[in-house]
Structure 1
């Protein structure tokens, strides 16, 4: 996750005081775990990475198994659990799990589509003490309902935000931009202010890309740049106004170098200080500071790697699986710098972005370490040229995955 607002608030403070603030990032010993506790969902969204449907799935972790895993996660130094699905509110014991997570001292988030949250459910969520609830919106009403394949889904999710706000639960919007919903982004950002949401999570699409392209002319990459410019401007205005609203992004760590370019243009005196902060951030954290456990207990480097199984918590503790670098992907992800190739290998910003999102390269070429086709920076901006590649075999399963 790239915390745009955090850096904008630091820049605003620097502008006000004349000194860039000293900030010490405290990295936890263990990763943040996004935990898909259930695969069942009341929706069948077009872009679901879990391919969920409204029926039960056999073999999911039972409550005692969940508690055993939580004990191991706590001992391993995991700071936060993001409870996801499917639709996590369909799991009958979700509040038992969340209560124990809070008792154990985990930062506990809930990732939901929001359609099941009425006033009573909002009260239960508030009483459970969730630190944060993220509700996915794919656009305004027509767009969202089309993505979610349910007429009225937008109205129900929007109502959920209001119910949660009334009972004092911190709630935010989660949005993944595609060619089909990018036109709704400005209105969604306005909507955030209107409905009492205090966080906007912008997710880039994790896709198998378009080949060896000219990024400075590619329409998709130009749309991405325009979206990031919009987010930067909104976050900067909020920071200058003293607002604590958060704008964050995910699934494309080119956002770090792109913010550095924004600062070079608008606040050049703080470029060097921000560069040091971004290097300390460290870029893509898959296999390092972000992890995923699916509904069957299988561990993955993050939620976008469901097709790559590192092991099951029923067979070995998560802590052992996570530290095992006999898996070639995990061995490379944990390296610094990673063994990336092509543009990524020659990029002047590698220390900031850490090679970006490896799943896109793997899905396109079959090579974990090839350049990320989702990087929207030009060859001139990264200081390296694209490298020709052989496309993945036709039989390779291409996945388009976004958020829960």
Structure 2
């Protein structure tokens, strides 16, 4: 996750005081464990076009029991995992969700809930508020019918917006979550305005990643120009809020080139702060898959992050999470934890690899079959990363080819469901 607001607040402080904030002290021994995104249930009442879990509205056999979840939580706490993000599918469909959330709060975790919001009416909002979630993220991919098409449910937008309002009335911190493709890239300005109008505390911008239905629909990834325009709008919006002292937060995910693009944005506007910002960005280090971000799926299988469901690191039914996460005998895990990562292609030649960490490895793997190839989702051009496209031996970029299978054609034809 790239925390835009954090860096722009530092920039606002530098502009106001004439001094850039110091780098935070490096953490010593006994580092905390990763943020764990936990897909407690795969069932969902929606069948969204970009769902990495390929969820549908039916039961999935073999999911972890309540007691198994509690046992894993004990191990996570002992391993110093600081954050649990409870997700799905649609987590509100899991009958013991609030028992799990209550126990997580008592144990001292920061607890987030990731939901599509369509099930949150007033009574459900009361239950969510009583559970004391630190944060609830609600997915919105556009306004009105645009969102409904993505979610394949007529009226989904109205239900999700009502959820935002129900939760705010009860004092719950709410954020909007948006995944951009070329089908909804034009919705970003309206969604940012909606964030302000509704008083949402956070906006999470997700670049499309190639997993689940997101991989099937990767041919509809937003073109690089549209991505850059979106980042400009996000940076400009976050900068105005930073100057005004607003607590609103803007973050992005699934494309760590955003850090490099922010450096360019600052170079054009505030060149004297480029070097201290570069130091902060390098301390961040970019992609955290397999390092500071982990995933446990509904069956208890551990993955480097939520986009790696096709790669198992082991099951919590067979080994504790702490043992699985510390084990580097798996080549992918060893490579993700290596610093710097042994990336190839233009990523290996990029002068900013210390900032992005080689970006998102799952896109490289899904398109080329090689997890260490260049990330085809990097939207920076050769000049911006220090390459001369005319130099001898220069090669063409990896192209994002559409996913092809008989199944993908059938999924594309699923109609919008009328409520």
Aligned-residue CA RMSD in angstroms? 2.2
Q: Which of 129, 134, 148 is residue 131 of structure 1 equivalent to?
A: 134
Corresponding position of 2:279: 276
Q: Which of 107, 110, 129 is residue 113 of structure 2 equivalent to?
A: 110
Deviation at 1:76, TM superposition (A): 0.7
Deviations 1:378-397 (A, max 9, x none): 01111135645699999899
Q: Distance in 1 between matches of 2:51 and 2:291?
A: 24
For 1:308-347, what aligned pairs fall within 5 Å after superposition?
308-347=311-350
Unaligned stretches of 5+ residues in structure 2: 216-220, 409-419
Corresponding position of 2:12: 12
Q: Distance in 1 between matches of 2:134 and 2:25?
A: 20
Q: Distance in 1 between matches of 2:127 and 2:371?
A: 43
State the TM-score, normalizing by the size of structure 2. 0.90
Distance change (3 Å), C-alpha of 1:390 and 1:54: closer
Corresponding position of 1:299: 302
Corresponding position of 2:97: 94
Corresponding position of 2:413: none
> Aligned to 1:292, what secondary structure does the other structure show?
strand
Corresponding position of 1:213: none
- Contact 1:365 1:391 (8 Å CA) reproduced: no
Corresponding position of 2:169: 166
Deviation at 1:46, TM superposition (A): 1.4
> Aligned to 2:342, what secondary structure does the other structure show?
coil
Distance change (3 Å), C-alpha of 1:171 and 1:390: closer
- Contact 2:296 2:303 (8 Å CA) reproduced: yes
Corresponding position of 1:195: 198
Tell me whether 63-72 or 46-55 shows the greater mean CA deviation: 46-55
Deviation at 1:219, TM superposition (A): 7.5
Deviation at 1:207, TM superposition (A): 3.2
Distance change (3 Å), C-alpha of 1:390 and 1:98: closer
Deviation at 1:297, TM superposition (A): 0.3
Q: Which of 255, 263, 271 is residue 252 of structure 1 equivalent to?
A: 255
Deviation at 1:139, TM superposition (A): 0.4
Deviations 1:121-146 (A, max 9, x none): 11111111100000000101110001
> Aligned to 2:2, what secondary structure does the other structure show?
coil
State the TM-score, normalizing by the size of structure 1. 0.93
Distance change (3 Å), C-alpha of 1:293 and 1:172: same
> Aligned to 1:188, what secondary structure does the other structure show?
helix
Deviations 1:225-252 (A, max 9, x none): 0000000000000000110100100000
Distance change (3 Å), C-alpha of 1:26 and 1:99: farther
